[in-house]
Each structure stands twice: as structure tokens, then as C-alpha cells.
Amino acid sequence: MKRQRKVIETSRTWVVFLLGLFLLRNSVFAAVGTGNPTDLRADSLTDPLGIDAPKPLLSWRLQDDRSGAKQTAYEIFVYSKRPTAIEAKPDVWDSGRVASSTSTGVSYGGPELEPEKRYFWRVRLWDKDGKPYPISDISWWETGLLSPSNWRGKWIGYEPPELHRIRESGALWITNSASESSEPHDTQHDFRFAFPVDRPVQSASLYATGADTTAAWINGRQVLQAQPLTPWQQMPWGTYTRVDVTRSLHSGANLLAIGVTRFLTARQKQVPTRTPMSACLFIAFTDGSSELFTSGVTGWKAALQAPDGWWREDFSDASWEAAEPYVPAPGGFDGRTGLPWPTGPVAALRRNFREDQAIVSARLYATALGAYKFRINGEPVGDQILAPGWTDYRQRVLYQVYDVTLRIKQGNNAIAAYLAPGWYSTPLRWFRQGNNYGNTQPALRAQLRLEHADGSVDWIATDENWKADLSPILQAELYDGETLDARKVQDGWDTANFSDAHWHPVMLVHPNEPRIVAQYFQPIRAERVISARAITNPSPGVYVFDFGQNMSALPRLRVRGVRGDDIKLRFAEVLNSDGTLYVENLRTAKATDHFILAGSKTSEDFQPEFTFHGFRYAEISGLRDRPTIDTLKAVVLHTNAPFTTRFSTGNSMVNQLWSNILWGQRSNFVGVPTDCPQRDERLGWSADAQVFWRTASYNMDLSAFSRKYAADLRGTQVGTAMYGIFAPGVDTPNPFYGAAWSDAGVIVPWTGWIQTGDRRIIDENWDGMEKYLAEIGAKNPNHLWQNGFGAAFGDWLTPTTTTPEDLLATAYWAYDVSLMKQMALATGRTAEEERYGTLFGEIKSAFEKAYVRADGFVGTVDHYPSIPPPTVHPDEGSQDQDQVVETQTGYVLALYMNLVPDDLRPAAAQKLVELIKNNHWRLGTGFLGTPYLLEVLADTGYSDVAYRLLLSREYPSWGYVIDHGGTTTWERWNGDQMLHDPSMNSFNHYAYGAVGEWLYRYAAGVDTVSSNPGFHTIYLHPNFDARLGNLSFDDESAYGAIHSEWTVQGSQATWKVTIPPNATAVLSPHATNAASFHLKGVPLERSELHTDSSGRFELPAGSYTFTATLTSPGSASSGSMIK
């Protein structure tokens, strides 16, 4: 009995002990707040499939609605398999408990990652009292291939034999011999080539082009008409024009004559006496043979200004000289040449394979020199548009990873793809020169990984075993549009039952091997589908759909008709007065889609795969019946980074402005941040990007996309220290750079860091930024950027006086240096921080001496650019007699970039206001001055003037654009008045949308600081204004949701603000305003808020309601921005 009692007591002891352990163990995981960590991300992406980072950066958000909630420590667990229990021990990495409030950019610190493997992870946090939160849910990331050696696929492609032969022909750009220059005028450059035809001809095609416009004759018969000079005085001569010349040939001797006209334009002082021309004549004979004649130095003759009739067979060219190879002048622009090869129909590629075992996992790794779209067993793979996206394909190409496990079946399977030119072959420069990235046709590279239940793996890779044919997509070009002939669709071509016996072997492609990296940012995806608001019928058979919004989109067409009907779609931003499309501002971009019907008994659907358009209006013709609202929809697309901001006010115009800013970003963030989405440009212009990047980083989570664009900018430094004026670049070495444009190479990484706190973007770009600034310094030892500032774009499209380029360039140089000092401090580069601090002082001192006077004047003598600017600093009264240039932008840049002595800032700000007043209270700034104008005014005590400019509806202003129908910001302040000049008149340009930064940082008052970036510390300085009435702002920052909301009634403002958990805020009112701010009815200095060492009020996480008395009838600011 005693023994039994002892056993029972012992058992009870163990039960109590185990229960205690259980309770103790569960106390570790017991909830003390309102939830577990959430929004787990690896490399800024949620559950990313296929990343190549050797040490991904991990982040999360704290969920805790208690006041002052804060993370004091974290512990990260990484597993090789999904854990099934909370207490599962991590078998890859355990960070251990790390005392830190950081929840972004935490580097994985475990062993080397394996390729093609999924890793699972979660995080545990401790609160401000040292108590644990519930552990997070499981998240994961999956590695990509990690190394080039893991690529099994070969580059494959296909193009028609005729085009392939032309591509490999070695046709030269040729010209006439040099001659004496004469009075400027249009010049005619003439070429003749005799060739035999000794067999019956099946078909013949002439491919020709030249700068600026080209005409051609065969045997005296004109086969190609020269185009007139365009209104924008640029000609699309960089790609071959094809014409059918079969009927112009005859047996025996034949003559090909080509005339090229070079126009004298306002851009040129004198037309060169030599100009480039290239041509190919392809002849297919009835016996199956063919012959190709190409431009070269053998057999071709050339002359300048030949007499009339020179194209006839009986004309004597005995006095003509042999044509010469064309070599553009060093640093030239108008005569630069590329590879003129045309693109053919989109290629269709496929292969069958058999899989006898059950599949537990299937991954497709895919990339292209061009654009691709995969299908497996008749189903599409992924929802990306224009993959793999735009990079400089000579340097790096992105690849994507797709989970296709559910697409694979046991038995016979088929994998297929369309392969289009994309950005690889599309003409990307002003003169429509294609093939900028290589001499090969588009190429596909892919491999399918099939993992079985027993762990074995099969691979299906692109190689010579694939088959190819031409797809029904006859043309797919980014600027010109897409043509689909539904009659040529081969049903079931992407299924295993399809017979490809009549298809062709693929072509193995051998490009200069680029670096292939996993995509590490969000792809281009469709966001929404929009219906038209109205349909009009401006002319018989022509219908115009008004979608009510300028955007980047694809048409989605549903029609019925007869086989062979050609449904034509055109696109435009605005209309002519008669209701027809205004397309002149598209310049050479045709922006036209064709859908040729198969003649189905049911409706037929069309949505382009490999183009996109910028438009509000779409015109449709070729229909047999009147369209309905369901006939045509618009599919909005953009880089799919999540939107993070909501904003509204009591002013309808400002609300529309915010909408315009967002739609401008949507429209132009399509793989790269472009200037415009509609015309024959669409380049990643760097000044547009850098002035807008902070606004953009509020609107969207750009933590990943910022790294991508910074890498594009870095790529333009190959062969040079200078960043390009747009990125990705198309030339190596990059010949084009410019002050404020090239500075994006520094400003974008800085913005990416300060908005997210991710220091990796600094480290990735540090060497390039240093190289760039060292080059400027080497050319300008006097610390004024007067030499080598490249393309002098200046304050682009300013409506008033142009700001001198040297003043502008020097200001940007100084600004770059100040940002480098901040980034050096953030990354522990102590010596560099000191060096850049010293350099900034030297540039500032030189700037003050050159451009600042003792009365606060900022400007320069109107001498530019012939001599260096004189010193106009204290007591140089003699300079008052000189004609000087002072501009709003000059003051804005000098004040914003901290180049005016502190004691002169009030005087300089007053002079800026005087300039605005003398301009009838209108802004006078372009792309570079506008972004910072309102900020400078608010910082220097003129918030009322900032609001006056914001709310103006007179030209030039944001309100003017809105009142004249703008649904995005325009390139010009007066685009509606410039329809007669389409050379530079986009109605969808985001640069002037940079005012969004002021709306968020100043009007709403939500800002971040370099000492604790990424909104870990939030700097609050709202600018209240009775004219707005009220404002509400929400931002999903890296640390959580921030809310700022205020209402003004009379002279009283009520302001509500919410600080997310694990973040703090500081409020720094002007000393004169401090007493007017109350919290819970108590003045701030007597409130519950603590102050830091600088006297700023600290706000822990939580929600607060303040009241304030406005110090002026119009508006009041809570404080100046701390630079």
C-alpha cells in the first residue's frame, strides 16, 4: 500500500512537473499584445518564388494596438521543411534572441543556401516589457538557380529564313564621298547599284533606310516613296522599310537606285555632306534558290546632289565615285547608326515530353532576349506581361520562376511558348534604331524541373529538340502595336496531341552571354479592367471609346464578323475638335493593333500579348455592327508594386491632382520608370525619375523596384564614370549624360534608403556613386560644375527664364555630396563621411561666392556659357550694373540644397516670393524647380504662398491642367495649347506630380529622417490651411500604417495622428507656435509628451488628437523640415 501510494505521489509529482513545464513553455508563446508578427517578407517580397540573394533580407511588422507598443528583441527561425509544431527546432538557422527594435532589412545569417530549394521561416518578438508575443505564422522563400552553372537550357529562337539571311548578311551603312560644305540646305544623297537576274523570279523584297528619308527606284520605276519631314523634325530612319518589288524586276541587267534626303532643321546649323544608307534586296527564284544583294563598297556608286533623272537606267554614272563605308563623327548624334534588321512574326516554339511518375513539384525557370509567354498543356503559365522585362540585355537579363506543379500530368505533356521582340529588338532610340542590344534574333532560354516523390529530378530544357513555326501574331512591337491573324491559329499547338511534323527545327542562338539573374522585384501585371464612359461616331464606320482616364493599358476586344475582317484599333490621349483621334504627339509610334477574324460563329476575343499603349481614347474601325460598351475594354497594367497611400482633402481639385499623380505613376512604371507611355520614346529618363522618386515611394512600396532601377542606372556607367540620361541604356559606353539627369544615380539610392531603411541599396551602388562624383570633381577643381556637365537640359520646359546650367549643375553636385555624407554615416563609412562633409563645405563656399550676394540674391551674370561666372558676394557693387539672371528655380535649388548661408536664407526666401509675386503669383519652374518649390516655401515660413500656388488654376499650375481635362500630369504646363507642336507634348508625364511629396511630407506632415530612416522614427510637421478645409492621409510604411488627419474651422485646427507599433514620432513646432498646440486640452509643454535632447516632443506608438490655433488667416506650419 505504501509502495502504491509512493508511486501515485511520484506520478503526481511528475504530472505537476510536466504541467509546470507545459505552462512555462506556453508562457513563452502566450499572447501579450493583440497579435503575432505579420507581413513577413524576404527581400521585400511576400513568399518570393526564386530569388538569387545569398543572404536574403528579412522583415516583418509588429501587431500591437497598445500605446507605446515596441519590439525590443527578435529571434528568427529558418527550416528546410515546413514545421508542423510551434516548438519545432529550426534545422537551418536560429538567430538567437537579438536585442533590437529593427524589423526591416535583417540579413539571413545561416549556412550557404542551396539552389532550387524552399526555405520556411518565422519570427518571435518580445515587447517593451520583455514579454514575448505569439510566434508568427510560417512564411517562406524559394531560391532560384543561384549560379550560371545551374543553367541547362540553351538559347533558341526562330525567324523566317529571309529575315535570318538579311540579319547575317553583313550589309553595310554606306555613304557618298566627302565634299566641300556649302550654304546650309537640304541635301540629296544618291546611290546606284546594277545587278543581274538570270532565273525566273518567284518573289523579291527590298529593305532600305537612310537618314533622314529614303526613296527607291528599280529600273526607273519608283518602288519606295520618301516621307516628308515630320512636324517634330525627326525621321524614323533606323530600321528597314520593306517593299515588294517582284513586278519591277526583269531578266538580265537591273538597276537599283536609292535616294536619301537629309533635311536642314532648326536643330542643325549645317547639314552634313555625308549621310548613312543601308539596303538589302532579297530575290527568291522559282527553282527554290535565292539571292541577296546588300549595300557595300563593291558595285555601289554614290553622289551628292545628282542631276534630275539619276535614277533611270539610261543615266550615265561614269563620273560617280564608289560608295564608302559610313563612319559617324565622334560624339555625333544625328548620324549615329544601329542594326536596321526588321522583325518578323512572333515565333512559336514547342516540344512534347512524357512523364511516367507522379510529380510532387514542378518549376519552370524562363528568360528571353525579347519577350515570352509560356503555355503548358494548353494552359497559360503565370500572369506576367512582357516578361522577362527590360534591362540592358548586354549586361544582365532577368529570369522568372513559375510553380507549374498543377500543370504537369502523368503521361504525355507539351510545353510551348511565344517569343516576341520585346524591348530587346524594338527600336528604342529617337530614330527608331532597333536591335540595340545585339545582332541576334530574339531568343528563349528555359528549363523545367520535375521532382518526383522519391526525390529524383528530371529536366526539360530548351535545346535543338524543340520545334518552331511562325505564330498567328504577325507583328508585335512596343511602339507600333500588334497584329493577330486568327485565321493562322493552329488549334492545340500547345497540347501534347498536336502534330508538329510540319514545324521547323529551332535555331540555336549564340548571343554575347549576359549575366542572368532572378527577378527580385514585382513584375508587370494587369491591375484592373475599365469600361468606356462614352462611345462616339465621328465618321462613318469609325467609333471612339472614351475611357475617361489616361493610362497604360491593353485593349480587350470582343467582336463577331466574317473571316478575313480586319478590325483596326488606334489609340490617343486627346481628341481633335471634330472628335477624331489626335495622334500627332505620338510622333512615329503607330500605336495601332489589328485583329483579323477567323470567322467564328461565336464572338472572337483579342487582347495583345506583346505591346501596350498609353491612351484615354481608343478608335475602332472595321466592324460590321455598331459597337456596345462590352465590345472594348481597357486592361490597365503596371509594375505590380503594392500601392501604399490614401489621400483626400476638402478641395476637389487637390483630390483630382492626387488621382492624376497616381495614374501618372501607374502609367509610367511599366518595367522601368518611363517619361511617357504613348509616343516613340518611353525611356527611363533619369531626371524625371529622381525628382519623382520620393513621391513614388510614398505611393507604392518601391523597396524592391528602387534596387532594380538603381541597377539600371549603374549599368549606364559601363565604360564611363557618368550615369546616363536614361536607363536602361542602349549604348556602350554611354555617350549621353547631364546634370540633374545623371544625378539620379545618387538620388534614387538615397531615396530608396531613406524611405525604407534598407542599407543594401547604398552598398550596391556605393562604388558607382563614388566614381561618378570623383569624375565631376576631377573636371572641376574650383568646386563649380562648369566643365563636363553634358547635355544641358536645364530646368526642362520651364515657362519662364532659364536657370543657368552651371548654377544648376553645381547645386546638384553639392546635393549629391550631402546625400553621400548621410549614406556614409548610415553604413559606417566614417572616413568617407568626413571627406564628403569637407567637400560639401568647399562646394557650398564656391557656390556662395559665385552665385549669392549679401542681400540674399541668388543668380548669375547673363554671360553663360562663354566664361566662368564672376564673384558676386559681399560688397561687389560694380556687378549691379551687369544684366543678371535670377529664377525661381535658382532660389529653390540653392535653398533646398542648403547652399545659402543661414543668415541670408530669410532674404533669399523673400526674393523668391517677390519673383513669384511679380509673376502674378504664379510658379515659373520646370522639371527641376517645381518638385522643391512648395517645400522651400514651407520651410522658410511661406506656407500660405505654397498653398496659393498649389490651389492656383491659372497657367502655369496643376489646377490649369485639371481644368483643361488632364487626368494625369502633363509634360508641359500648357499642353492643350501646344497641339500644333507635337515634338514634346505628352499628356502623361509624372515629373510635375512630384508635388505629391509636398502633400505627404508637408500638408499631411508625415516624414522620415536620415538618423532613423524607413519611418522607424516619423518626423511630424503638418501644414494646416483653411482653404483645404480638411485632409486625410494614410501610408503603409515599412513599420505599419501611419495616419494623419486634420480639419480647419476658422482659426482652429484639429489634428489626429496615429503612429504604428514599433515606431516613434517626433513633433517639432516653431517656438512661437508651441503654445498653440494642445494635446487633450493641455499645451504641449505641459502635456504627457516627453522631449528629446533637441527639445522635440516624442510620440510613442498610438493615436493622438491635437488642437492648434492658426497663426495666420491662411495656413500654419508645425515646423520646418530638418535637413
What DSSP assignment string belongs to 337-358? ----PPP-SPEEEEEEEEE-SP
Residue 330: inside a domain, yes or no? Answer: no
- On whether both 9 and 67 belong to a single domain, the answer is no
The boundaries of the domain holding residue 54 are 31-145
971 counts as catalytic: yes
- Under the banding of pLDDT at 50, 70 and 90, the label for residue 983 is confident
Cβ–Cβ under 8 Å, residues 158 and 506: yes
Average pLDDT over all residues of the chain: 92
C-alpha count within 13 angstroms, C-beta hemisphere, residue 238: 23
**Could you give the CA distance from residue 461 to residue 364 in angstroms, rounded to a whole number?**
10
Cβ–Cβ under 8 Å, residues 469 and 348: yes
Between residues 532 and 274, which one has the greater pLDDT? 532
Residue 877: inside a domain, yes or no? Answer: yes
Cβ–Cβ under 8 Å, residues 476 and 609: yes
**Could you give the CA distance from residue 556 to residue 609 in angstroms, rounded to a whole number?**
11
- On whether both 992 and 1033 belong to a single domain, the answer is no
Which of the residue ranges 710-714, 788-792, 940-944 would you say has the lowest mean pLDDT?
Answer: 788-792
pLDDT at 881 over 90: no
CATH number, domain with residue 743: 1.50.10.10
- Under the banding of pLDDT at 50, 70 and 90, the label for residue 875 is very low
- Under the banding of pLDDT at 50, 70 and 90, the label for residue 31 is very low
Sequence-distant (6+) residues with CB within 8 A of 60 are 37, 38, 39, 40, 41, 103, 123, 125, 136
Residue 1037: inside a domain, yes or no? Answer: yes
How large is the average pLDDT for residues 294-319?
A: 96
How are beta strands 98-99 and 73-79 bridged, if at all?
Answer: antiparallel
Catalytic residue, chosen from 355, 971, 1036, 1045, is 971
Identify the bridge partners of residue 267 per DSSP, sorted by sequence position.
Answer: none
- Under the banding of pLDDT at 50, 70 and 90, the label for residue 873 is very low
| End-to-end CA gap in the chain | 83
Which among 586, 618, 639 is the end of a domain?
A: 639
How large is the average pLDDT for residues 992-1002?
A: 98
- On whether both 617 and 683 belong to a single domain, the answer is no
How large is the average pLDDT for residues 318-325?
A: 96
pLDDT at 866 over 50: no
Considering the chain, what percentage of its residues have pLDDT values greater than 70?
A: 91
The predicted pLDDT at position 85 comes to 87
Which of the residue ranges 34-38, 60-64, 859-863 would you say has the lowest mean pLDDT?
Answer: 859-863
Residue 612: inside a domain, yes or no? Answer: yes
Indicate the number of domains in the chain. Answer: 7
- Under the banding of pLDDT at 50, 70 and 90, the label for residue 430 is low
Cβ–Cβ under 8 Å, residues 127 and 103: no
- On whether both 600 and 670 belong to a single domain, the answer is no
pLDDT at 4 over 60: no
How large is the average pLDDT for residues 148-176?
A: 95
The predicted pLDDT at position 270 comes to 66
Catalytic residue, chosen from 573, 609, 681, 935, is 681
- Under the banding of pLDDT at 50, 70 and 90, the label for residue 25 is very low
How large is the average pLDDT for residues 335-362?
A: 91
How large is the average pLDDT for residues 1049-1069?
A: 94
> Which three cell numbers mark 979?
497641339
- On whether both 941 and 904 belong to a single domain, the answer is yes
The predicted pLDDT at position 734 comes to 83
**Could you give the CA distance from residue 572 to residue 555 in angstroms, rounded to a whole number?**
13
Give the helix/strand (H/E) hosting 363.
strand 359-369
How large is the average pLDDT for residues 626-635?
A: 98
How large is the average pLDDT for residues 794-815?
A: 97
The string of pLDDT tens digits covering residues 736-759 is: 899 999 999 999 999 999 999 999
Which among 518, 552, 584 is the end of a domain?
A: 518
The string of pLDDT tens digits covering residues 535-572 is: 999 999 999 999 999 999 999 999 999 999 999 999 99
Q: Pick from 372, 369, 404, 402: which is nearest to 387 by CA? A: 372
Residue 682: inside a domain, yes or no? Answer: yes
Which of the residue ranges 533-542, 661-670, 868-877, 914-923 would you say has the lowest mean pLDDT?
Answer: 868-877
What stretches of 989-1123 adopt beta strand conformation (E)?
Answer: 1006-1008, 1017-1020, 1023-1025, 1030-1037, 1040-1049, 1052-1059, 1064-1067, 1077-1079, 1082-1083, 1090-1091, 1097-1099, 1102-1109, 1115-1117
CATH number, domain with residue 119: 2.60.40.10
- On whether both 186 and 313 belong to a single domain, the answer is yes
- On whether both 217 and 230 belong to a single domain, the answer is yes
The predicted pLDDT at position 525 comes to 98
CATH number, domain with residue 214: 2.60.120.260
Cβ–Cβ under 8 Å, residues 793 and 809: no
Preceding omega of 198 cis (within 30 degrees of 0): no
Between residues 615 and 338, which one has the greater pLDDT? 615
The predicted pLDDT at position 843 comes to 99
- Under the banding of pLDDT at 50, 70 and 90, the label for residue 5 is very low
- DSSP category for residue 426: S
- On whether both 10 and 59 belong to a single domain, the answer is no
Which among 611, 639, 667 is the end of a domain?
A: 639
The predicted pLDDT at position 21 comes to 39
pLDDT at 392 over 50: yes
Which of the residue ranges 157-171, 434-448, 512-526, 1083-1097 would you say has the lowest mean pLDDT?
Answer: 1083-1097
Identify the bridge partners of residue 42 per DSSP, sorted by sequence position.
Answer: 45, 58
The predicted pLDDT at position 428 comes to 82
Residue 529: inside a domain, yes or no? Answer: no
The predicted pLDDT at position 29 comes to 36
- On whether both 514 and 650 belong to a single domain, the answer is no
How open is the CA angle 837-840-843, to the nearest 5 degrees? Answer: 155
**Could you give the CA distance from residue 880 to residue 900 in angstroms, rounded to a whole number?**
19
159 counts as catalytic: no
The string of pLDDT tens digits covering residues 252-266 is: 999 999 999 998 876
Identity at 153, one-letter amino acid code: G
pLDDT at 837 over 70: yes
Phi-psi region of 719 (alpha: psi -120 to 50; beta: other; left: phi over 0): left
- On whether both 482 and 503 belong to a single domain, the answer is yes
Write out the DSSP string of 805-856. Answer: HHHHHHHHHHHHHHHHHHHHHHTT-HHHHHHHHHHHHHHHHHHHHHHB-TTS
How large is the average pLDDT for residues 126-134?
A: 96
Identity at 903, one-letter amino acid code: D
- On whether both 44 and 155 belong to a single domain, the answer is no
- DSSP category for residue 1035: E
The pTM of the full predicted model, rounded to 2 decimals, is 0.93
Residue 538: inside a domain, yes or no? Answer: no
The predicted pLDDT at position 273 comes to 82
- On whether both 750 and 733 belong to a single domain, the answer is yes
Residue 613: inside a domain, yes or no? Answer: yes
- Under the banding of pLDDT at 50, 70 and 90, the label for residue 89 is very high
